[in-house]
């Protein structure tokens, strides 16, 4: 692969690991842009990455030493500044653009009006700037955008790959599947997807929209090579996701906390599988003017209680006294529902998923050296939807 890849949101959980992953695979440049907002927002809610993370300068220097390659670059600025984004894209001339520059927390977006408004501005305006600048400077580039399965909500029917055939009063059409988002963060993602679809339709851009499930896991093949290459790992009640938080709770002797009745079903995939998906999309690009959607998840038929039970079993095997204590659900959501998303497109592209149980077992080993850093006060969710 020889592409000029631009990754927006390059300092995030997926972003930095993706820079390394594509840097090793690619003969061209991989350029990252980030305003360090993830670090700032996590600190704002009194959280911190469980694994200490280095500066981007230190990370890139370590990457050069470890992998003997000099193809990573980084710029620090906010992509809601269209002037700076235009200047950077004009200089880089990317052939692949990956937009991960979104605030990724539903609870954060539901804290108050200010947090919700910032989420909408950051996520929607950043993506809108990108679409207009792509039209102007690099209309043939392939945009890969981070969507979320949360855009769909939990409909009582199978979730198709973005679009479905609608029949009404004797007529039919091929239309986007209805969105039933459950937070202002997820509604921002819906708007991003609609804008991207529209830009492909009217300007002939090409885009892959990833409706990604919940990502779990600690290390990747690259990040394990040197402590300076470590990616972030959040476990707090605002930015920490279910499996990641459950494993930390298990290791600390804190009861795992499924919400409400614990019957919610979500789709999951390991961070290493997420990285593989990006490579598959790059190697199998859409046509000019095509907006395509992938439901990016591999594990989707377990409730959060079942996931907690699995983590409990693995924790006891590892010597931890794990327990489960359901807490009042801070969200407004269906706690028992149908959930089945179509994922055949990923299989056809060649994705072979990691072993779910083995990867959770590995998390216990990966986190053991850092578990003393846990702030137990930050784990329990405190932001409510009411």
> Which of 124, 125, 137, 55 is closest to 89 using CA atoms?
137
DSSP code for 108? H
Which helix (DSSP H) or strand (DSSP E) does residue 149 occupy?
none
Q: What is the pLDDT of residues 87-133, one digit of tens each?
A: 999 999 999 999 999 999 999 999 999 999 999 999 999 999 999 99
pLDDT at site 1: 87
> Residue 81's domain spans which residues?
5-378
C-alpha 176: how far from chain center: 21
Distance, in Å, from the CA atom of 312 to the CA atom of 328, rounded to the nearest integer, reads 20
Bridge partners (DSSP) listed for residue 32: 7, 74
Q: What is the mean pLDDT of residues 214-239?
A: 98
Q: Check whether 244 has a pLDDT greater than 90.
A: yes
User: Is residue 384, in this structure, part of any structural domain at all?
Assistant: no
Q: Check whether 309 has a pLDDT greater than 90.
A: yes
Q: Across the chain, what does the average pLDDT equal?
A: 97
User: Is residue 113, in this structure, part of any structural domain at all?
Assistant: yes
Domain total in the chain: 1
User: Is residue 322, in this structure, part of any structural domain at all?
Assistant: yes
User: Is residue 386, in this structure, part of any structural domain at all?
Assistant: no
Q: Check whether 365 has a pLDDT greater than 90.
A: yes
User: Is residue 383, in this structure, part of any structural domain at all?
Assistant: no
Q: What is the pLDDT of residues 159-187, one digit of tens each?
A: 999 999 999 999 999 999 999 999 999 99
pLDDT at site 371: 97
Q: Check whether 72 has a pLDDT greater than 90.
A: yes
User: Is residue 356, in this structure, part of any structural domain at all?
Assistant: yes
Q: Check whether 312 has a pLDDT greater than 90.
A: yes
Q: What is the mean pLDDT of residues 225-232?
A: 98
Q: What is the pTM of this model?
A: 0.97
User: Is residue 368, in this structure, part of any structural domain at all?
Assistant: yes
Residues assigned a catalytic role: 148, 185, 189
pLDDT > 70 in the chain, percent? 100
Distance, in Å, from the CA atom of 223 to the CA atom of 5, rounded to the nearest integer, reads 20
- Residue 81's CATH number: 3.40.50.720
Q: Check whether 77 has a pLDDT greater than 90.
A: yes
User: Is residue 385, in this structure, part of any structural domain at all?
Assistant: no
Q: Check whether 157 has a pLDDT greater than 90.
A: yes
Distance, in Å, from the CA atom of 27 to the CA atom of 25, rounded to the nearest integer, reads 7
Q: Check whether 251 has a pLDDT greater than 90.
A: yes
């Amino acid at each position: 692969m020889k592409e000029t890849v631009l990754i927006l949101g390059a300092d995030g959980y997926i972003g930095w690991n993706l820079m390394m992953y594509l840097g090793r695979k690619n003969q061209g440049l991989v350029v990252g842009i980030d305003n360090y907002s993830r670090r700032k927002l996590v600190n704002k809610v009194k959280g911190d990455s469980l694994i200490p993370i280095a500066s981007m300068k230190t990370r890139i220097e370590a990457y050069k030493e470890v992998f003997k390659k000099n193809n990573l670059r980084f710029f620090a600025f906010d992509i809601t500044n269209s002037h700076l984004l235009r200047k950077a894209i004009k200089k880089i001339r990317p052939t692949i653009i990956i937009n991960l520059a979104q605030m990724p927390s539903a609870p954060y977006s539901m804290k108050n009006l200010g947090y919700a408004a910032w989420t909408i501005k950051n996520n929607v305006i950043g993506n809108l700037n990108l679409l207009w600048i792509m039209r102007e400077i690099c209309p043939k580039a392939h945009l890969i955008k981070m969507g979320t399965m949360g855009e769909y909500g939990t409909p009582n029917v199978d979730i198709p790959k973005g679009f479905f055939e609608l029949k009404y009063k004797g007529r039919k059409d091929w239309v986007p599947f209805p969105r039933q988002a459950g937070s202002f963060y997820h509604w921002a993602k819906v708007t991003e997807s609609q804008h991207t679809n529209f830009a492909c339709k009217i300007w002939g851009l090409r885009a892959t929209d990833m409706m990604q499930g919940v990502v779990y896991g600690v290390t990747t093949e690259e990040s394990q090579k040197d402590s300076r290459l470590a990616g972030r790992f959040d476990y707090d009640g605002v930015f920490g996701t279910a499996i990641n938080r459950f494993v930390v709770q298990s290791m600390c002797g804190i009861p795992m906390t499924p919400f409400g009745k614990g019957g919610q079903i979500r789709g999951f995939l390991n961070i290493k599988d997420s990285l593989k998906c990006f490579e598959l999309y790059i190697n199998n690009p859409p046509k000019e003017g095509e907006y395509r959607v992938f439901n990016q998840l591999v594990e989707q038929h377990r409730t959060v209680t079942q996931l907690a039970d699995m983590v409990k079993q693995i924790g006891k095997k590892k010597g931890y006294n794990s327990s489960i204590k359901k807490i009042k659900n801070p969200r407004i959501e269906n706690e028992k529902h149908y959930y089945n998303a179509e994922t055949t497109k990923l299989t056809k592209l060649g994705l072979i998923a990691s072993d779910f149980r083995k990867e959770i077992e590995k998390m216990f080993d990966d986190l053991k050296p850092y578990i003393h850093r846990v702030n137990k006060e930050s784990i329990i969710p405190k932001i409510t939807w009411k």
